[in-house]
């Protein structure tokens, strides 16, 4: 009877899990041989699944800080890349766990990922994980990194209605003109349908007359009778004070924007320059 029970147990597939939006079992495949070190601690800490997913990848994706720290303390490779181009840092940003992101950043300088489909900054911006994005930028992530299909982090945030990250990127000096090819962040915001983001972009100097590769402006692609369309129609041209603010901020450049607070100017003018 015991033998039959054992055979029955081993003949059953492992329970399904969800990894990066795809249904899979705990082994990332259907056989016992594919079990990972996350499930069998006696195996090597960097043993990979068929998709080159490491235990550290899984720990970061689940936002399991203690597990990730344990693996790193045991020598896990923080820079391993899965078949879809994800690093543990990318997965940590995807989970939105700030502690995991900070932990990984303490162990790697591998922020600018050469794989064009998986950028930690784009992932954090897309999912509106504001604190994760701020950490990445403070550690040297390129704020205006433009990737094929994904565009810039600002473009990704606009397209996915990530208002908090849009505001953060703009405050920290992201170029409001850089999107995805000829498609501007304003085009993306209009497609996303978020009025607050459209307002933000226009306040930071977005050009409503800019045409994309199809020759269309942001107004051209706005849905009829939508709130976004009404915002575009009612928003007038930039005032002189707004134009001056944009000119000063561009002259300072992103790396020196923080210095505006130390300028010998009235507090109200410094607050105006910094959008406070």
Give residue-wise pLDDT tens across range 136-166.
999 989 999 999 889 999 999 999 999 999 9
Token representation of residue 200: 């933000």
Fold agreement (14-117, 119-236): yes
235 touches 227 (CB < 8 A): no
Report how far residue 122's alpha carbon sits from residue 142's, in angstroms, rounded to the nearest whole number.
Answer: 10
For domain 14-117, give the fold. Answer: 1.25.40
| Ranges 48-62, 215-229, 231-245, 246-260: which has the least confidence | 246-260
pLDDT(107) > 60:
yes
pLDDT, residue 258, reads: 73
- SS3 for 73-115 is HCCCCCCCCCCCCCCHHHHHHHHCCHHHHHHHHCCCCCCCCCC
Q: Could you list the beta-strand ranges (E) of 92-239.
A: none
Q: Tell me which CATH code domain 119-236 carries.
A: 1.25.40.20
Handedness of CA 120, 122, 128, 134 (dihedral sign): positive
In order of 46, 136, 158, 163, 203, the CA distances from 197 in angstroms are 42, 22, 7, 6, 10
Q: What average pLDDT does the structure give for the chain? A: 82
pLDDT in tens, 30-66: 444 555 545 554 457 888 888 889 999 999 999 999 9
- Domains in the chain: boundaries: 14-117, 119-236, 242-276
pTM for the complete prediction? 0.79
User: Is the pLDDT reported for residue 248 higher than 50?
Assistant: yes
Of 51-65, 125-139, 183-197, 262-276, least confident by mean pLDDT is 262-276
Pairing, β 16-19 against β 22-25: antiparallel
Q: For CA atoms 163, 167, 169, 170, give the dihedral sign.
A: positive
DSSP-assigned states of every residue in 9-54: HHHSPPPEEEETTEEEETTSSSSGGG--TTT-TTS-TT---TT---
Quick check: 126 and 155 in contact, CB under 8 A?
A: no
């Amino acid at each position: 009877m015991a033998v039959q029970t054992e055979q029955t147990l081993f003949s059953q597939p492992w329970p399904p899990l969800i990894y990066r939006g795809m249904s899979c079992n705990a082994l990332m495949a259907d056989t016992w041989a594919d079990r990972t070190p996350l499930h069998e601690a006696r195996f090597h800490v960097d043993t990979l699944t068929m998709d080159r997913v490491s235990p550290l990848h899984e720990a970061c994706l689940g936002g399991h800080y203690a597990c990730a720290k344990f693996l790193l303390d045991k020598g896990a490779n923080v820079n391993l890349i899965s078949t879809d181009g994800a690093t543990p840092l990318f997965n940590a940003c995807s989970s939105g766990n700030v502690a995991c992101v900070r932990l990984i950043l303490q162990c790697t300088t591998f922020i600018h990922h050469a794989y064009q489909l998986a950028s930690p900054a784009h992932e954090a911006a897309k999912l509106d994980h504001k604190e994760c994005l701020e950490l990445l930028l403070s550690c040297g992530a390129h704020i205006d990194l433009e990737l094929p299909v994904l565009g810039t982090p600002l473009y990704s945030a606009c397209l996915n209605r990530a208002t908090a990250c849009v505001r953060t990127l703009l405050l920290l000096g992201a170029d409001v003109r850089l999107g995805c090819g000829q498609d501007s962040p304003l085009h993306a915001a209009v497609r996303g349908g978020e009025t607050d983001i459209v307002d933000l972009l226009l306040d930071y100097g977005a050009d409503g007359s800019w045409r994309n590769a199809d020759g269309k402006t942001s107004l051209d692609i706005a849905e009829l009778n939508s709130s976004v369309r009404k915002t575009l129609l009612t928003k007038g041209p930039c005032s002189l004070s707004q134009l001056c603010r944009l000119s000063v901020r561009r002259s300072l450049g992103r790396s020196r924007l923080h210095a505006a607070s130390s300028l010998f100017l009235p507090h109200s003018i410094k607050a105006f320059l910094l959008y406070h």
